[in-house]
Amino acid sequence: MKTSFISGACRGVIIAIFGLNFYGNCYAQSAESSAYMGAPVELVEAPNGAIANKKLLDRVSDFNFIQPTIEKLAEGVWQLGGYGLAPMSIIETDEGLIAFDTGDTVHDGELMLEAIRTFTQKPIKVIIYGHSHTVMGAGVIAEGNENVMTIGHPGLNDVVASNLAAGGAPSFYPEVSPVLTARVLTQFNAYMPKEGPDAYVVPTNLTEITSAFLPVNTPVEDGQEMTVLGVKMQFFTKYGSDDKVHTTVWMPERKILFTTLLWSAPPQLYSLRGDVFRDPREWIEGLKFNRDLNAEILLSGGSRPLVGKEKIRQTLVDYLDGASFVLDQTLRGILAGMGPDELRYFVTFPEYLDEAPINLQAYGEVSSYPPAIYYQTVGWYDNDAAHLKPLTPRDEARRLVPLIGGREKVLEAASAAMDKKEYAWAAQLANQLYLLDDQDKDARQLKADALRQMAYVSTGANDRAHLMSQALALEGKTTIARLIPPPPAAIAADPVKYVDFMRVRIDPAKSDQTRSFVRFDFADGATAGLDIRRAIAEFVPNADDYGQKPDITLKMSGETWAKVYLSQTTPEQLIGDGDIVVEGDDAEAARLLNLFDRYSPAKAVVVRPAFLEHGL
């Protein structure tokens, strides 16, 4: 491979790759052709008063449930959509009902059970989990029958238990799940009004994170066949999308497919809330498998149903081609020397893919996905050495604002950008002032104005939610939680896990000269330890096996440890009240626990990491 470039960008160079030449500026789209930078967008009013991109409103109902809907697809087969984040499918048999997915919360389950009772009074005898997110309404759907047959991926119980224990939102490092959990609420419209110009358009609402999960008691393997309440089914567990424990169900005698791989918008290869990496290859292969079953009815855990072999096949082809395009063109751009921010504009759907009904970017927007693939493929460094040692955003602002001419000049430039509908540029300019003083009223309002207009022109529900929620927060109309801690019961049930998680909260400035091994003895017999070696707190999963005598031993219940972990009271108070029994010096024990950041999940309007200045 022969190249003639030295930086990560492919501006003004000729790059020969496998005999192909990329000439000059190799972007397929520039920032100026984006709706966020002045490209023409027609704004209209949604039925709930929301100001939104006409493209979204014209097409959003093709694959999204905009309001609660019950559809009968065949004799004994229904889909319920619009009652929660994801649809539920019902199969009626002589023996009772089979439910495919059960909602993301207890409330989802309650609404869907009520809907089921409008067309049948038969009991739910079997629950099939297609996806680890849509399991939380199961206990409600089962109407208290904890022994109902629950079918799913053999790894689903572990995934759900891990997510719940870590605070709800899956994360590569579960220690930071509270941050991702808080971002879940932003993503799912928790801070946006239901009506008015700033309202959400796609009703992906989530205002609570509650669970009535029933564990899988009938795990299935890939390709396994089973007759369920008289219905012949085949289960496939090989492929996933946004998690790795999906189950696809095929009814061969009726050519009916139940899948979780087809969503109401292009495959979301990255979620703005943050998540573990979603490998496009696995999703694409699963879609090919779904396509080749040649179903006549398709019920999805993520979109409206489809009827008709040709319609199903074409929809799946358009969908997997969209995912393949994003992956392949991102990799092509990387070969051409592009970095993550350049890929946002290089990887844009050609017109035929953009116009395919299933590819309306109504959930996430494609521009968010190439950077995630880049980071997974290459890491953060874009091969431009000027980016190797960047300043912090605030330090950069301290230098740029005077260079531009000071605060008034920046406000003037941002206002001019707003007049030209260059909303993304206006937001960046206003953000320079916001970084210097997050209480600057003019900067806050200008940034809010820019974010609001970006929300209006967006098509992605996730994008609108983040943009609009932060605009409202800047104006003092809502307060966004920066993090949401795990519930005390989860900590009490597995205190050793949270001793491990505690280690990341050590404050090196406080622990500077400390050398001490702290042992934890819990009432259930479990032990753990933290070996504090100045700036490091090594987690010891079993203190008996460590080979080092503790300097301090703390004896307590799991419930007391939850109070420590969540900073619900002070270590001094718990020791003084006898809730923590100390072997060693009481004052030293309290000092050691106070080396760790206080868990104070106060809601914060600022979107920069305030904990760096004020602690957790």
- What are the tens digits of pLDDT across the range 359-376? 999 999 999 999 999 999
pLDDT of residue 289 exceeding 70, the answer is yes
Residue 5's pLDDT band, with cuts at 50, 70 and 90, is: very low
Instruction: Give the closest residue to 277 by CA, choosing from 382, 188, 172.
Output: 172
- What are the tens digits of pLDDT across the range 514-564? 999 999 999 999 999 999 999 999 999 999 999 899 999 999 999 999 999
Exposure class string for 282-293: b at 16+ Cβ within 10 A, else e:
bbbebbebbbeb
pLDDT of residue 246 exceeding 50, the answer is yes
- What are the tens digits of pLDDT across the range 162-214? 666 555 577 888 898 888 888 988 999 999 999 999 999 998 877 677 889 99
Please state, in angstroms and rounded to a whole number, the distance separating the CA atoms of residues 7 and 381.
11
User: How many CA atoms lie within 13 Å of 596's alpha carbon, on the beta-carbon side?
Assistant: 24
Instruction: Give the closest residue to 248 by CA, choosing from 283, 274, 275, 281.
Output: 283
Angle 219-117-256 from CA coordinates, rounded to 5°: 45
Average model confidence (pLDDT) for the chain?
A: 90
User: 158 by DSSP, 3-state: which?
Assistant: helix
- The pLDDT value recorded for residue 262 is 96
- The pLDDT value recorded for residue 29 is 57
User: 530 by DSSP, 3-state: which?
Assistant: strand
The residue-averaged pLDDT of 598-607 equals 51
Question: If residue 266 lies in a helix (H) or strand (E), which one and from where to where?
Answer: none
pLDDT over 70 for what percent of the chain? 91
- The pLDDT value recorded for residue 276 is 84
pLDDT of residue 273 exceeding 80, the answer is yes
- The pLDDT value recorded for residue 85 is 84
Residue 581's pLDDT band, with cuts at 50, 70 and 90, is: very high
- The pLDDT value recorded for residue 607 is 34
- The pLDDT value recorded for residue 232 is 98
The residue-averaged pLDDT of 500-509 equals 96
Cβ neighbours, 10 Å, residue 524:
12
Q: What is the DSSP letter of 378?
A: T
Please state, in angstroms and rounded to a whole number, the distance separating the CA atoms of residues 334 and 8.
9
- What are the tens digits of pLDDT across the range 342-356? 999 999 999 999 999
pLDDT over 90 for what percent of the chain? 80
Residue 453's pLDDT band, with cuts at 50, 70 and 90, is: very high
- The pLDDT value recorded for residue 242 is 87
The residue-averaged pLDDT of 5-32 equals 45
Please state, in angstroms and rounded to a whole number, the distance separating the CA atoms of residues 333 and 327.
10
pLDDT of residue 9 exceeding 50, the answer is no
- The pLDDT value recorded for residue 600 is 72
More confident residue, 19 or 559: 559
- The pLDDT value recorded for residue 21 is 44
pLDDT of residue 25 exceeding 50, the answer is no
Residue 18's pLDDT band, with cuts at 50, 70 and 90, is: very low
3-state SS, one letter per residue, for 192-247:
CCCCCCCCCCCCCCCCCCCCCCCCCCEECCCCCEEEECCEEEEEECCCCCCCCCCC
The residue-averaged pLDDT of 279-283 equals 95
Instruction: Give the closest residue to 101 by CA, choosing from 122, 126, 120, 119.
Output: 126
- The pLDDT value recorded for residue 3 is 35
Domains of the chain: 1-33+255-387 (no CATH), 388-474 (1.25.40.880), 488-593 (3.30.1050.10)
Give residues with Cβ within 8 angstroms of 163, minimum separation 6.
Answer: 132, 169, 170, 177
- What are the tens digits of pLDDT across the range 304-352? 999 999 999 999 999 999 999 999 999 999 999 999 999 999 999 999 9
